[in-house]
Amino acid sequence: MHDYSLDAENARLIRELGTRSGMAVPLMARGRTLGAISMGRTDPMRPFGPSDLALMEELAHRAAMAIDNAHLYQEAQEGIRVREEFLGVAAHELKTPITSMNIVLQSVLRRRNERPSAERLMQALESAERQVQRLMRLVDDVLDVSRLHAGRLELHLERVDLLAVVGEVVERFIETAARTGSLVDMRAEGPVEGMWDRSRLDQVVANLLGNALKFGEGRPIEISLSRGEGTAELVVEDHGIGIPPERLLHIFERFERAVPTRHYGGFGLGLYIVRASRRPWAARCAWAARRAWARGSRWCFRASP
């Protein structure tokens, strides 16, 4: 029985019990080893035989099925929980721009007999367009997750200047930055060109900057862009609420957030899309959360040109 167990504690128990014969059978389910079940006898006159082994194998088979079913049930329950939470968040997030757009349109309709000026009409139309664009981005995020999950995300590679893409995204977020009070400082050594999908690159930059503005608490946001040996690097850094260390392992998963939904909106898809979008480019996405809670986050996106 000296080599019966490689586990020191288990081997000690076997010795203390005076075990003279033993059996160990793996717990197998769907081609995976879940564990093992063992049995020992102290009576030297009654060693285990073939019938004992057959009984042990049947017991192990039933135990493995029970454990696997419990795991599947737990996963199913978690899936239902995530689905219900997502549906609730989605309903709220989709309703917000629709409600805002409806208010704008109702305001225009109420004043239709007043012959509103062209300037007022233009302001109303621009406001409605912003809400439509927001709604389209939300829908696109959901569709992208579906495509990523099915492995059907298509890339249209072309020569792209990452600096130009970052500049366009920053320009789009000017009003959001002004509303949050955050000053966006962009630094770059010059054009950074590569063969990338422009729309996906735009999406990555927008998600990182959008998160920085959302969680930056009105503090400055730094964006830096550089090119190293065969790598383009984008860094987005904020000085806001930061991310709890225990959330770092999950923040790139679908529908995950670093903070409660009731405090901050969003589907919890932005960083998941960032991570998933980088794979076709042999890119890497690294992140660093400052040790002190409420001192911000630093996100680094690297892509091979």
In the chain, domain spans: 8-73, 90-150, 157-303
Alpha-carbon dihedral 217, 222, 223, 228, rounded to 10 degrees: -140
Average pLDDT, the chain: 78
Residue pair 141/267 in contact by the 8 Å Cβ criterion = yes
- pLDDT above 80: residue 94: no
Q: Which residue has the higher pLDDT, 174 or 93?
A: 174
- pLDDT above 90: residue 66: yes
Lowest mean pLDDT, pick from 21-25, 103-107, 216-220, 269-273: 269-273
Q: What is the pLDDT of residues 9-55, one digit of tens each?
A: 777 777 777 777 888 899 999 999 999 888 888 888 888 889 999 99
Element (H, E) at 297: strand 297-303
Q: Which residue has the higher pLDDT, 224 or 40?
A: 224
Count the neighbouring beta carbons within 10 Å of the beta carbon of residue 178: 11
What's the confidence (pLDDT) of residue 253? 65
- Using alpha carbons, select from 211, 190, 219 the residue that is nearest to residue 270: 211
What's the confidence (pLDDT) of residue 54? 93
Count the neighbouring beta carbons within 10 Å of the beta carbon of residue 284: 15
Q: Which residue has the higher pLDDT, 261 or 166?
A: 166
Q: Rounded to whole angstroms, how far apart are CA atoms 117 and 289?
A: 50
User: Which distant-in-sequence residues (6+ apart) come within 8 Å of 133 by Cβ?
Assistant: none
pLDDT band, very low/low/confident/very high, at 148 (cuts 50, 70, 90): low
Q: What is the pLDDT of residues 163-216, one digit of tens each?
A: 999 999 999 888 889 989 999 999 998 888 888 888 878 888 888 898 889 888
Lowest mean pLDDT, pick from 16-30, 101-115, 143-157, 208-222: 143-157
Q: Rounded to whole angstroms, how far apart are CA atoms 136 and 154?
A: 19
- Using alpha carbons, select from 41, 45, 42, 46 the residue that is nearest to residue 23: 41
pLDDT band, very low/low/confident/very high, at 118 (cuts 50, 70, 90): confident
What's the confidence (pLDDT) of residue 288? 44
Q: Rounded to whole angstroms, how far apart are CA atoms 61 and 84?
A: 34
Count the neighbouring beta carbons within 10 Å of the beta carbon of residue 198: 17
Q: What are the residues facing 18 on neighbouring strands?
A: none
- Using alpha carbons, select from 267, 273, 238, 263 the residue that is nearest to residue 255: 267
Task: Please tell me whether residue 21 adopts helix, strand or coil conformation.
Answer: strand
In the chain, what percentage of residues exceed pLDDT 90? Answer: 21
In the chain, what percentage of residues exceed pLDDT 70? Answer: 73
Residue pair 161/188 in contact by the 8 Å Cβ criterion = no
What's the confidence (pLDDT) of residue 287? 46
Identify the CATH number of the domain defined by range 157-303: 3.30.565.10
Q: Which residue has the higher pLDDT, 253 or 124?
A: 124
What's the confidence (pLDDT) of residue 222? 94
What's the confidence (pLDDT) of residue 286? 46
Q: Rounded to whole angstroms, how far apart are CA atoms 193 and 54?
A: 66
The CA-CA-CA angle for residues 79, 84, 85, to 5°, reads: 100
